[in-house]
Amino acid sequence: MTHVYHVAITGSDAADGSAGTPLRTINRAAALAQPGDTIVVHEGEYREWVKPARGGLSDRRRITYEAARGERVVIKGSERIADWTREEGDVWRAVVPNALFGGFNPFAEEVGGDWLVPAANGLPKHLGEVYLDGRGFYEAPDLAAVLEPPTRREEVDGWTGTAEPIEDPDRTRSVWYAEVGADATTIWANFQGADPNAELVEINVRRSVFYPVEHHLDYITVRGFELAHAATPWAPPTADQPGLIGPNWAKGWIIEDNVIHDAKCSAVSLGKEASTGNNYSTSRGDKPGYQYQLESVFAARQIGWDREHIGSHIVRRNTIFDCGQNGVVGHLGAIFSTIEDNHIHHIGTKREFYGYEIGGIKLHAAIDVRILHNRIHHCTLGTWLDWQTQGTRVSRNLYYANTRDLFVEVSHGPYVVDHNILASPVALEIFSQGGAFVNNFICGALRLEPVLDRATPYHRPHSTEVAGYAVIYGGDDRYIGNLFLGGDADRAFKPGSEGHALATYGTCGYDGLPATFADYLKRINQRLGDHQRFHGVKQPAYIHHNAYAAGARAFELERDPLAVEAPVSFSVVDEGDQVYLDADIPDALGAGVLSVVTQDDLPRVRFPDADFEEPDGSPLTLHCDLLGHRKEIGRTYPVGPLATLAAGASRIRLW
């Protein structure tokens, strides 16, 4: 027998949780709920860290947490502070008893860990945050900077440790500084003319908002909430990766239809737990992070990292924004998951701190993960797939206004990138091998780089079982039916000294590689030795039927390239809830030139010795365009992600 427990601001935790006598806190309902039960939370603001006591037993016997239909339910990791004393001018001071924080004081906890780059001024940032009417401030290095906040770009650089521009420079004048004492934490903040005792001022006090403290609480659904203000720590792949919300090493969660924002570091975590490594490179200093990350893969296998126990999550139709590190993060824990129909923006753009783990979506070991039809913009990096990108599919996504769109690093494939728009200045960074890029619109630079100093694992198909490991020689990539636009050559990296990435517009960066596997074997067999024969020999590039306009150039051995000399115009137009593609193209780009791409068109991947397949092992068929139109086998379609793209001027709604 299943139950529905109701929670309301007017309720009592001594009540029975019925519709007429609701509970007061979500955590009380969580303590009562059994597999198959539903918790309905009614209108209001709840300031608690929801810690599920148990999970469901199967996909059909879930525990579901949902906002009441048509009601706005907000769960926050912050508390309101309304007792401020004017210090000087626009600067006010609040003295907060440490008892408010319990055993975790974000203003005492530093942002730190593996792959975090120290700030230029050498001063750490903290997990604390001050919000005025929902808007986060900047942490100042000292009290003097609160009294006189910076007015020039170069002054801010010393705080952030990066020279990249801040999107809203005036926001840097809204700053705070804190000193933590034995009994209280004193916070100074410059409110730029606002009265903090009259406005809504909050500080974050909880690490997470909806996150279990135990592992293996499976089959939980979280639906329809606004979730905000978590003091989440830096989340590299070699550490525990708590998020504002997440399953914490479990299986079968559904996180859907939520508005998730203002995580200090990561919002949705599908990530690693601590027993397989927790910032050992930083704390011990005896081995590089790369080595500890490699060890974590084998350690995870020993504690049950497999399809039966971990992953298979769904993250869909969420709006995620204003987070310092990631919208979605995960190492190991995201396997076999789907991330779809989300709107992710303004991730890493505050630039208070910097490191090598920042992106709208940042996943390691994304085995059989499907990243489908997401809108990702105004992020420092849209999506970063790092290590063990195998069986992964990135399809029908809209990337624009990011610094960089998609980065695939030290992976062996097979992985597929199809029917996407990549419209930022740097569209693709491929420091991997074994990829298939099909029917994309790529209007930014393409960067390529071999990685010969880091061997990374690959797996048996559709499994976490490690099959071997190898370095990245470069090549073994496939490009079919893509539309490339050229750009400003001065914005791309030039071929140069060893170790610098090659960036081009189009596929000409693959020049010098063989075009067939037979030609590759011929090059290998002309050399002597065992492994020595392979050193320095690039793998094949399987490239055909792509179109190039506005100066983009084709691979020198490409089969049937389409060079477009006529003017071509594309622009992504963001109108808030709607996004359009304004296009004006010649007849050549509106003509059908290519049929539906299937597994038969994609040669197997060399190192994993694997074919391009669906997650269930069936043959792959790329028949769905960006807008969801199904292509028919046997018909021909234009290059790019839109099956209905026609010559001439048009406006097409993308979102």
pLDDT tens-digit map of 50-107: 999 999 999 999 999 999 999 999 999 999 999 999 999 999 999 999 999 999 999 9
Rounded Cα distance between 482 and 92, Å, is: 56
Residue 35: HSE in the Cβ half-sphere, 13 Å Cα cutoff: 10
Six-digit token pair at 577?
């809830």
pLDDT at 167: 53
Query: Would you call 29 helix, strand, or coil by DSSP?
Result: helix
270 and 357, same domain (yes or no) = yes
Residue at a domain's end among 204, 233, 248: 204
11 touches 32 (CB < 8 A): no
Six-digit token pair at 76?
């926050």
Rounded Cα distance between 227 and 24, Å, is: 18
200 and 106, same domain (yes or no) = yes
57 and 96, same domain (yes or no) = no
User: Is pLDDT above 70 for 213?
Assistant: yes
Residue 493: pLDDT band (50, 70, 90) is very low
Residue 212 lies inside a defined structural domain of this protein:
no
65 and 84, same domain (yes or no) = no
Query: Would you call 644 helix, strand, or coil by DSSP?
Result: coil
CA angle 479, 477, 368 (to 5 degrees): 100
Residue 311 lies inside a defined structural domain of this protein:
yes
Give burial (CB, 10 Å; 0-12/13-18/19+) of 414.
buried
Six-digit token pair at 462?
């559709």
Residue at a domain's end among 69, 90, 124: 69
User: Is pLDDT above 70 for 162?
Assistant: no
420 and 541, same domain (yes or no) = yes
Residue 279: pLDDT band (50, 70, 90) is very high
Position of tokens 């700030």?
119
83 and 60, same domain (yes or no) = no
Residue 214 lies inside a defined structural domain of this protein:
no
Mean pLDDT score, 515-522: 96
Mean pLDDT score, 178-196: 97
32 touches 20 (CB < 8 A): no
Mean pLDDT score, 20-46: 98
Residue 213 lies inside a defined structural domain of this protein:
no
582 and 616, same domain (yes or no) = yes
User: Is pLDDT above 80 for 651?
Assistant: yes
Six-digit token pair at 118?
């120290």
444 and 330, same domain (yes or no) = yes
Residue 210 lies inside a defined structural domain of this protein:
no
User: Is pLDDT above 50 for 158?
Assistant: no
Question: In the chain, pLDDT over 70 holds for what percent of residues?
Answer: 95
Q: What is the DSSP letter of 374?
A: -
* pLDDT digits 0-9 by tens, 584-607: 999 999 999 999 999 999 999 999
User: Is pLDDT above 80 for 340?
Assistant: yes
Residue 466 lies inside a defined structural domain of this protein:
yes
Q: Where are the beta strands (DSSP E) in 545-646?
A: 547-549, 562-564, 569-574, 579-585, 597-598, 621-622
* pLDDT digits 0-9 by tens, 457-479: 999 999 999 999 999 999 999 99
Q: For position 175, which CATH number holds?
A: 2.60.40.1180
Position of tokens 């924004």?
321
Task: For residue 290, give the H/E element and its range.
Answer: helix 289-302
Q: What is the DSSP letter of 274?
A: G
All residues at 6 or more sequence positions from 3 whose CB lies less than 8 Å from its CB, including other chains: 17, 32, 33, 34, 37, 38
Domain of 159, in residue numbers: 79-204
pTM of the model: 0.96
169 and 224, same domain (yes or no) = no
Chain centroid offset of residue 447 CA: 19
Six-digit token pair at 262?
């203002």
349 and 426, same domain (yes or no) = yes
Residue at a domain's end among 35, 69, 103: 69
Q: For position 433, which CATH number holds?
A: 2.160.20.10
Which of 229, 287, 235, 13 lies closest to 106 in space, CA to CA? 229
pLDDT at 171: 58
Return phi, psi of residue 430, to 5°. Answer: -115, 95
Chain centroid offset of residue 350 CA: 16
465 and 552, same domain (yes or no) = yes
156 and 262, same domain (yes or no) = no
Residue 552 lies inside a defined structural domain of this protein:
yes
CA angle 600, 601, 603 (to 5 degrees): 85
Position of tokens 């808030």?
576
pLDDT at 426: 96
Mean pLDDT score, 546-552: 97
**Residue 488 region by backbone torsions, left for phi larger than 0, else alpha for psi between -120 and 50, else beta:** beta
Chain centroid offset of residue 89 CA: 40
Residue 152: pLDDT band (50, 70, 90) is low
Six-digit token pair at 369?
């993960």
Six-digit token pair at 75?
């769960």
pLDDT at 163: 44
Mean pLDDT, rounded, of the chain:
94
pLDDT at 494: 46
Mean pLDDT score, 623-630: 97
User: Is pLDDT above 70 for 555?
Assistant: yes
User: Is pLDDT above 60 for 126?
Assistant: yes
**How many domains would you assign to the chain?**
3
Residue 168: pLDDT band (50, 70, 90) is low
Mean pLDDT score, 17-45: 98
Mean pLDDT score, 542-561: 97
Residue 74 lies inside a defined structural domain of this protein:
no
All residues at 6 or more sequence positions from 544 whose CB lies less than 8 Å from its CB, including other chains: 479, 480, 558, 559, 560, 561
